[in-house]
């Protein structure tokens, strides 16, 4: 029998983590679900509840181990997010847990850091995880007068057909700001219809 402790890779899981683990178990045990085989392998590291003030709705940020994310979650991400959103009645964002290696400039032995572990690469990968399964079409960086940066991310126009996409774009920006402390605006390209 599958328990909540096997789904959460943490000694003392919070109530939110237990709730998400129970949702994963329900998806795994449901007979009508076509993602139950891959859902068996999914485990979570931690969960955060993010309050999005603009839309007055909460978003759940779920951290998943990197290998599990790349192996199982990417294949079923859209269906998994839909199932979790139905069960929790909140927006859900799945992100792989990645590590950033710091450069040690003061030490004499200079060690080369893999590109995938640099701050820029990790932040770009987190951005792709947040908006997945949709694709990023364009990125712009606007410099404000006070020197702060504003990142403008343009998503694929196919995403217009999804429900509540405007609210989801606002929640994506709140989640990305919570993780990286970067101001971000997510948009869809303008339509050519007249």
Per-residue pLDDT of the chain (194 residues; tens, 9 = 90+): 677 888 888 888 889 988 998 988 888 888 777 787 888 888 999 999 999 888 888 999 999 999 989 998 888 888 888 888 889 999 999 999 988 887 765 555 667 778 888 888 899 999 999 988 788 888 999 998 998 899 999 988 777 777 667 778 889 999 999 999 989 999 887 776 55
Q: Domain segments of the chain: what residues? A: 4-187
pTM: 0.86
**pLDDT value for 192:** 65
Could you tell me which of 128, 118, 120, 119 has the C-alpha nearest to residue 96?
A: 128
Which DSSP string corresponds to the chain? ---HHHHB-SSS--HHHHHHHHHHHHHHH-SS-TTHHHHTT--BSEEEEEEETTTTEEEEEEEEEHHHIIIIIHHHHHHHHHHHHHHHSSEEEEEEE---PPP--SSSS--PPPGGGSHHHHHHHHHHHHHTTS-EEEEEEEE-TTS-EEEEEEE-GGGGGSTTHHHHHHHHHHHHHHHH--EEEEE-PPP---
CA distance 38 to 76: 8
**pLDDT value for 66:** 92
**pLDDT value for 107:** 58
């Amino acid at each position: 029998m599958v328990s909540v402790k096997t789904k959460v890779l943490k000694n003392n899981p919070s109530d939110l983590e237990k709730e998400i683990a129970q949702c994963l178990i329900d998806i795994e045990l449901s007979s009508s679900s076509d993602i139950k085989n891959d859902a068996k392998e999914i485990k979570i590291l931690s969960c955060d509840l993010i309050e999005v003030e603009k839309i007055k709705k909460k978003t759940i940020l779920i951290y998943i181990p990197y290998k599990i994310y790349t192996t199982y979650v990417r294949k079923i991400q859209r269906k998994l997010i839909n199932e979790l959103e139905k069960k929790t009645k909140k927006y859900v964002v799945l992100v792989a847990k990645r590590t950033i290696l710091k450069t040690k400039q003061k030490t004499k032995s200079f060690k080369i850091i893999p590109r995938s572990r640099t701050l820029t690469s990790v932040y770009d990968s987190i951005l792709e995880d947040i908006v997945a399964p949709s694709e990023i079409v364009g990125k712009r960086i606007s410099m404000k007068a006070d020197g702060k940066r504003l990142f403008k991310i343009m998503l694929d126009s196919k995403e217009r057909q999804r429900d509540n996409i405007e609210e989801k774009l606002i929640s994506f920006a709140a989640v990305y700001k919570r993780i990286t402390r970067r101001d971000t605006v997510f948009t869809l390209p303008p339509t050519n219809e007249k």
